[in-house]
A and B are shown apart, each in its own frame.
Chain A
């Protein structure tokens, strides 16, 4: 069974804090993705990575950065959290040619 795990299910942070969201996959997938999910807006791609140390901006990268030092781990970083970054964050991974697998999500609240 493919497993994509995210470090926290729920997270509450204060405005201005640096926030790290971690994602780990156990299936040696090349591609990894970070999305945010907001009501009425669907899944919006923040960043993705198709190889170790490689990253590409998605549709809404502003205010975020990522790190992929090992193939199985993809981190999303909020350099200075703001209230408009309160959202559900979903990590996903995919082998080069087949279906995409999602983690359970991290619900982040920034106060």
Chain B
């Protein structure tokens, strides 16, 4: 119930294309869904996050789509660029818990080819 399942494990996209990464969760108590981006040799950094009161959140070329009934959420990267090549992690937690911890997916290695 605590797992977050992420797919695909790796993704190759042409420059200008759309990258889509999917995550699914089981625990209905989860109410905070962030995406982290990690470049080689660096720690992960928060990219974008969503709460379940909205079905979509957009920041620049990055969009989270959230489907509460299906318990799924996805990251869409529009007009993908070589600089977007990184590992992406989805995560989930119970935002309201004082000692809440993030449950991470297994990561997606994205390569954007020029």
Contacts and interface: CB of A to CB of B under 8 A. Distances in A.
A104 B34 CA distance: 19
B30 to A, nearest CB: 15
Nearest to B49: A99
Contacts of B95: 97
Contacts, number: 49
Given A42-B89, A43-B89, A102 B45 contact: yes
Contacts of B105: 42
Nearest to A104: B43
Interface residues on B, range: 20 to 34
Contacts of A104: 41-43
B70 to A, nearest CB: 22
Interface residues of A, number: 25
A108 interface: no
24 contacts: A4-B43, A31-B99, A35-B104, A40-B106, A41-B106, A42-B6, A42-B105, A42-B106, A44-B104, A48-B99, A50-B98, A58-B101, A96-B98, A99-B34, A99-B49, A100-B34, A101-B45, A101-B46, A102-B36, A102-B43, A102-B45, A104-B42, A105-B42, A105-B43
Given A48-B99, A99-B46, 13 more contacts: A4-B43, A40-B9, A42-B104, A43-B89, A44-B104, A50-B98, A56-B99, A58-B101, A90-B43, A96-B98, A101-B45, A101-B46, A102-B45
